[in-house]
Amino acid sequence: NPGGYRGGKPEGINTDSSSHAPASDALIINSDIGDPVIFEPYWLKYGIDMVIPPWHSISYVSSQRQISPFFEDFLIDEIISVHKIVGNAVTKDRHIVIGAGSIQLLQAALYALSVNDRSPPLKVVSAYPFYSAYPMVTDFVQSKLYEWAGDAMDFEATSNRDGYIEIVNYPNNPDGTFRHAVVNGSGGLIHDLAYYWPQYTPITSPADHDIMLFTLSKFSGHAGSRVGWAIVKDLKVAQLMSKYIFLNTIGLSRDAQARAAHIMRYVVHHYSQKGSAPYRLKTGPDNTTLLFHHAYDALKHRWKELRGLVVSGARFTLQDYPLAFCTFFGETTTSHPAFAWLKCEQDRNCEELLNSVNVRSRGGHQFGILDPQYTRISMILNLKEFTTLHSRLALLNNSSQTQC
């Protein structure tokens, strides 16, 4: 058989969770990046194969219907169905722009909001701690249209609040908190909703903002497919964003769009067999576990383990999250973010402390925080990495108690 996928199964992945003993002390745990490999066992167990025939995506263009001919109609339809099932975003009378991950769409949005401004460069701000990529992405090409200006709270306190774009991220990476815009002015707003899915946080109402960014990476774990989408109110803004994507990459790979649609169709199909939200039962047709329920359970379990460890000592503390009624699950739940915002209560530098046990994390300074007592660890590692991370943190916790 000359065709077909030639890669192997991802290493260290086993759907049997009992086989994940911690790794040896020498193995470096990379908890710095937010790679969503927590989803791999799910897709290994339940995913259905997908074949893209060789005649597909010969042409650059695909659609007659969308604001850009490079966006696949069937992907836009699936995106709308996913949001309808989850209830996390308004899509009626909105325009959908597809890009290479939400990071490309963020750049497209910055361009669209600034290109016709009369007094560039616009100041780009976000309340700290902010996602570490925002300053880098904003200033990378040294655009004349916009420039990074740091913490939105500081900006709000200045007298001149003209000419700005605020990025609002909820639930926020790195600390998982729920955010609102803080600058009181008439600047542009970009809402980064990468983690506004029921596995991470209660869905309380459909989000309805001018520009909302979503990504397949944190929806289903398919970060390598590089698929993101923006839901945009204003047609002109959506057209400018599409123009940016056209000049940048001539659309997104049609193969990637087909793959994203396939994954979404699978999720939508399984949930829609169960009627509409609230979805109280975690099993779908043929006893499959439903995606959001599966990911929710896995994250809840990890958070319980981490919180148990933290309260058993005095060395670390974690952010607390409120309870809220989740319309998707039909019950009161709390947040189980993709990252834990760890504070070291006794050590001066939390990132360095974790480094000492071969755990890489992302120190608070990368999120605009000057206090080195904070560091961000990933909760979406694979199970073996998480088990190892947990046992090394437990070791640090216990050794501090012994010293006391």
At its nearest, how many Å lie between ligand PMP and the CB of residue 398? 32
* Residue 340 DSSP class: E
Nearer to ligand PMP, 68 or 217 (CB): 217
Phi and psi for 153 in degrees, rounded to 5? -65, -45
Contact between 123 and 149 (Cβ < 8 Å) = yes
At its nearest, how many Å lie between ligand PMP and the CB of residue 256? 11
260 lines the binding site for ligand PMP (CB under 6 A): no
Give me 8's structure tokens.
Answer: 């192997």
At its nearest, how many Å lie between ligand PMP and the CB of residue 203? 17
Contact between 108 and 95 (Cβ < 8 Å) = no
Please list, in sequence order, all residues whose beta carbon lies within 8 angstroms of the beta carbon of residue 96, skipping any fewer than 6 positions away.
Answer: 66, 71, 76, 79, 80, 229, 230, 231, 232, 238
Rounded to whole angstroms, how far apart are CA atoms 113 and 237? 7
Helices (H), 214-277: 216-219, 235-249, 254-272
217 lines the binding site for ligand PMP (CB under 6 A): yes
Nearer to ligand PMP, 96 or 277 (CB): 96
User: Nearest-CA neighbor of 89 among 232, 218, 199?
Assistant: 232
Which residue in the set 131, 146, 219, 329 belongs to the binding site for ligand PMP (CB under 6 A)?
131
169 lines the binding site for ligand PMP (CB under 6 A): yes
At its nearest, how many Å lie between ligand PMP and the CB of residue 347? 26
132 lines the binding site for ligand PMP (CB under 6 A): no
223 lines the binding site for ligand PMP (CB under 6 A): yes
Stretch binding ligand PMP (CB under 6 A), from 20-28, 98-106, 304-312, 348-356: 98-106
Q: Residues touching ligand PMP: how many (CB under 6 A)?
A: 13
39 lines the binding site for ligand PMP (CB under 6 A): no
* Residue 225 DSSP class: G
Whole-number Cα distances in Å, 339 to 31, 57, 123, 162, 173 = 9, 37, 28, 34, 7
User: Nearest-CA neighbor of 83 among 379, 292, 259?
Assistant: 292
378 lines the binding site for ligand PMP (CB under 6 A): no
At its nearest, how many Å lie between ligand PMP and the CB of residue 214? 8
Give me 133's structure tokens.
Answer: 């990529």
| Of residues 228-257, those binding ligand PMP (CB under 6 A) | 228
Rounded to whole angstroms, how far apart are CA atoms 79 and 91? 9
- Mark 302-341 with x for binding to ligand PMP (rule: CB under 6 A) and - for no binding: ----------------------------------------
194 lines the binding site for ligand PMP (CB under 6 A): yes
Tell me which residues touch ligand PMP (CB under 6 A): 34, 101-103, 131, 169, 173, 192, 194, 215, 217, 223, 228
